[in-house]
Structures are given as structure tokens and as C-alpha cells.
Structure 1
């Protein structure tokens, strides 16, 4: 469980729900976005990010990235086959322990399983296989967001860490971009953790979701050149995502997903290479 030292109330709350679920938590100190070093801020790949977003990653988004990286590094170091990683603003539902036991028996059959769900009107859940009597593994479209709770294998953590030495997207978006990163990600037909931040988002302290006009932008982010760059990359990403999803579902059911996704990853790479890397103004 990732916990900011100053978020004492959150730690107490999740420890109560964990005790009720019969679960012991290992606490990992989260990286506080209010205390970042210049070296930590320098991990953002601005050259790539400004082509996908007009906004800089906020300090708390970088802190969130570093926190999840810290948890994955701990998993790799301790040699366990997998781990459930939770943020401190979740509550555990009654099926939590049973589902984790079932996932432990599925070793080698997934990279990541998200334990939380964003329910929207256009969400599609494609069932792949049963996990328990009531809960199934499946794929979600459109892309799932949020990294408040997930199970990740040690091999997947190693692969993800190796592929992301620098940050471009927020950590939840980076992890769920299966058509680009090749991760074998499943969701649950019903969540076993719920988001419970008591109305206070630490991310929003520096991301300024409540004051979007005040969010920090790159220089000339609204210039026509950069707007066209972002439009082009969104279009390529959208096509690759939609093209990959049917194969992603089929291969999730057949448990032989990687070979079918490689061609979509190559397609995306080739399409991005066709777009210029630099513009009239550099970050």
C-alpha cells in the first residue's frame, strides 16, 4: 500500500478496511509531489510529451509515478511472483482476499489485473474467462484509467520498468496502453476495491483539475504546429487502439495474445515515425 506520510487519515482508513477483509498490508512510503528534486522532475520526457499534451505533468503526477515505480522495484527485488499494489485512498470490498487467492493460482496467465473499475456509459467489458464463482477476467474498452489498485506480476513489473525509464503519460495511462506496451492486462467484471478519497485529491493539488485554466502549459502549446502534432498522434493512437482491441479480446480468451499485438505495436511505431519529432520551439 502506497501512503503519503502526511495522509495519516487515509492510512488509518485503509488499514481498517484491510483488517475487516483479513488482509495484511505492507506500507511503502509514497513520493510526495511537494518535495520533488530537480532530478526527479527531469525524468519527464518533455520532447515526447509536448507532442501528446499541451500540459506538463504536475509535480504530484510525477510523485505518483515515482511511488508506483518504487512499489514495482520492491516487487522485483523481493523475488515474489506477483503483488497487489494499492493506493491509500481505496477501500477493500468483501471479495478482495478471495480474488487475490484466485489470482495467485493464475500465475503465468496475466501481466496485470486491475482491481478497480471506471464505469461509464460507453464502457464495454468483454469476458475472457471465469476467476471465481461471481467474478470473471476480461478486457475493457475504451481504455481503463486509474492505478488505485492492481495486481502485477514480477515479470511484468520488470518489463514495464525497463520500458519507462522516463515519463510521458501519467502512470495509469502508461500502464493501460496495451496496444503500445504489450502488457497482458485484464479487468474484473466487478471491482474489489473502490475509490474513497473523502473528497480530497492529492493529485489535484498541483494538477489543478478544479482550475484547468491555471494548469501549466508548454511554451507555444496552442500554436497551430503543436495542435496539429497532438491531433495526429491522437488519431494514430485511436486507430491502433481500436484495431488492436478485437484481437486483444480473442487472444485473452485463447491465452496467446502477444503475437497478435506485435503487429499493432509495429504499426503504431511506423505511424509515429512518419510524424516530425521536433518543432519550431523546443521545451
Structure 2
């Protein structure tokens, strides 16, 4: 399995920190030079963004972040590895993370992406539990769960994602891990629990669970778009139907509502 760490040239302190953490786990990695929003041409942003997303127009930071993740997918496709571990450079590793991050033989065959982090909000997962190592397991993820700080993606999924994301309207975490996203709904998504990774701003109880600001420049100034009434109603109804389906499945015992801890 390939391990990619996304890091800006102007953030050497982040690289030093994640390098020390991964070296301590005995995990070799390849640094991926992140696309820098500060130097990204306006023309590139205009070429990539094809409309206004759920949270409004994408910021330069979100576009740069998406392009950085696409670079990782392309590098995986160009390799002969079956999977890649993709890490953002500010991620915090949990106890004994190497037991999970250092191998991919536990990844379910039908998994396109496995989310390795948590933002501590409730999620809906499948009833079937697959033990990864003692104390950690994976389940099918059936609800939204934001963040792309740490995940495993299969080479097959990366090959599918690249043409689907030549242009985009939402941030990469919205695209991969929100049930509002058609791309997300087409993926076989799994959740590791307890999570082996977390982004540092999620460790503070004073920060909202879904923090649009995060560590992406300019994201804190975003406002959800004001759609026409009919479009909002249709979107709300679709979202409510998905939530109702999950609620029924939980009552039937085929799915569970959990809060994913970090350790």
C-alpha cells in the first residue's frame, strides 16, 4: 500500500511533525506537494469549478485541497499498488496506529474508501462488524461523515474518481463523504472504529463538529448558498428520505447509530 502525505511547501513544520509520527510507527511515506491556493492561477480555479455547491462557491483553498487529493489518486493509478493511504499533514495518529495504517489486507474487498478519522458526530453504520485488529473494526458507512484527513482509497476507486472530478462544485470531503453527493453515494464506504486518526481542530470541544473553516484558508467565510425555494425543498426532501431510511434500518437492527471515538 502506498502512503501519501499532502504538504504545502510553505508548511515545513507540519511535515516535520507528521514525519516524526510516521517514522515512529515505522511507516514510510511519499510527500505530495500540495497545490497552494495562494499561487494557484485564477484561470485554474475557474476551469475546475463548475457551479455553486451546497456550501456556496468553493474558495481557492478548497479548490487547491481538492486538486491535491486528485494528485494522490493519480499517483495511485499510475502505480501497481492496490490501495493508498492518504494523509493530510496536520493529522494526529492514535495509539498503535501502525497496526492499521501499515497494511491493507484487512480492507474489505468491496470497499472503495475507508475513513480512518472521526469528527465525533453520530454516524450510521452497518450492523456487520469486521475486526481489523483487537480493539478496532470496520463497518459499512451509510451516512455523511466529513473530513479527508485520513482515508484509504482503492486503485479501482481512484481510477473511477479521476474522470468524475475533472470539474467539481463541492469540497473534496463533501464529494467523498456526504450523502448529498452522488459520487459519495456510488462509493462503497467503510468506517474504522475507533478511529486511528483525527484532525487537531476536532480535539477541541469548543469547535463545532462540522467546522466549515477547518484548516483550509478562506473556508471560515463561506455561507451556504440561497437556492430557489423549489430546489431547497427538493434537496431537503431527498435528505429527509435518506435519514428516514437510516432510521428505519436502525430500528430493524440492520444498521447502527454510533459516535466514532478516537484512540
TM-score (norm 2): 0.78
Shift of 1:108: 2.6
Corresponding residue for 1:255?
none
Shift of 1:105: 4.3
2:199 counterpart (195, 201, 207):
195
Alpha-carbon distance between aligned partners in 1 of 2:10 and 2:198, rounded to the nearest angstrom = 21
2:50 counterpart (45, 49, 52):
45
**Structure 2 unpaired stretches of 5+:** 205-212, 256-263
Alpha-carbon distance between aligned partners in 2 of 1:169 and 1:241, rounded to the nearest angstrom = 21
Alpha-carbon distance between aligned partners in 2 of 1:216 and 1:36, rounded to the nearest angstrom = 22
- Which one has the bigger helix percentage? 1
Alpha-carbon distance between aligned partners in 2 of 1:243 and 1:124, rounded to the nearest angstrom = 11
Tell me the matched-pair count. Answer: 234
Alpha-carbon distance between aligned partners in 1 of 2:120 and 2:172, rounded to the nearest angstrom = 20
Shift of 1:7: 0.9
Give the superposed CA RMSD. Answer: 2.9
Corresponding residue for 2:60?
59
Q: Which region of structure 1 is more displaced relative to structure 2, 140-149 or 99-108?
A: 99-108
Alpha-carbon distance between aligned partners in 2 of 1:175 and 1:227, rounded to the nearest angstrom = 26
Corresponding residue for 1:230?
232
Corresponding residue for 1:71?
72
Contact 2:106–2:132 (Cα < 8 Å) also in 1:
no
Shift of 1:231: 3.7
Write the deviation string for residues 147-194 of structure 1: whole angstroms up to 9, x where unpaired.
000000100111122222211221011111467331111011111112
Contact 1:60–1:202 (Cα < 8 Å) also in 2:
no
Larger radius of gyration: 1
Corresponding residue for 2:207?
none
Contact 1:127–1:136 (Cα < 8 Å) also in 2:
no
Contact 2:141–2:189 (Cα < 8 Å) also in 1:
no
Alpha-carbon distance between aligned partners in 1 of 2:152 and 2:109, rounded to the nearest angstrom = 13
Shift of 1:98: 1.2
TM-score (norm 1): 0.73
Corresponding residue for 2:218?
206
Shift of 1:127: 4.5
Contact 1:103–1:131 (Cα < 8 Å) also in 2:
no
Shift of 1:3: 0.1
Alpha-carbon distance between aligned partners in 1 of 2:28 and 2:103, rounded to the nearest angstrom = 17
Contact 2:125–2:143 (Cα < 8 Å) also in 1:
no
